[in-house]
Amino acid sequence: MNTSGSSIERSILIFAIWAVLGFLGLGVFLEGIKTDIWLVSASGVSIIVVAFVAHIIVNGVFNAGFSAGETSLGLGAYGLLGLVFVLSATGSTMTATDYYSGLTLFGVLALGFLAYLFTRHGLRGAFSRFHVRPKDKREEGL
């Protein structure tokens, strides 16, 4: 089912999901930070989680996984937001609500990522994605 036409349809659906739900979630999250209301920020995080789940559903419908570009963008955005959060926490006057909002965002995203890996690849398969077992001399035939 991964023909050229379905690949374009999948890309358009993914773009639409993140353009609507992703930016809405980010906007609600930032509004919660601006107004200093944790519940509003947590609602924004929930909308971002809904976008992530919708992305996974679209991948399932089109029998596809995350592309290399999607993975790079997701990890890069997570890293950049983490850097901004750390710099903000060390260099400015963050309120406790801002701090908890940031921890909620990064905690939920990290748990979601791990849950995806465990459900998609199983516990052993998820660990194998990151662990490279060194060859010993017996495996090399020496």
From the number of C-beta atoms within 10 Å of its C-beta (0-12, 13-18, 19+), residue 56 rates as middle
Cα distance between residue 26 and residue 31, in whole Å: 8
Q: What pLDDT shows up at residue 65?
A: 85
pLDDT tens digit string along 28-80?
999 999 999 999 999 999 999 999 999 999 998 999 888 888 888 888 988 99
Q: What pLDDT shows up at residue 131?
A: 61
Q: What pLDDT shows up at residue 39?
A: 97
Q: What pLDDT shows up at residue 48?
A: 94
Q: What pLDDT shows up at residue 126?
A: 59
Q: What pLDDT shows up at residue 66?
A: 86
Residue scoring higher pLDDT (134 or 53): 53
pTM: 0.78
* Both structure tokens of 126: 């998820």
From the number of C-beta atoms within 10 Å of its C-beta (0-12, 13-18, 19+), residue 52 rates as buried
Q: Contact at 8 Å (CB) between 28 and 87?
A: no
pLDDT tens digit string along 66-117?
888 888 888 898 899 989 888 888 887 789 999 999 999 999 988 988 887 7
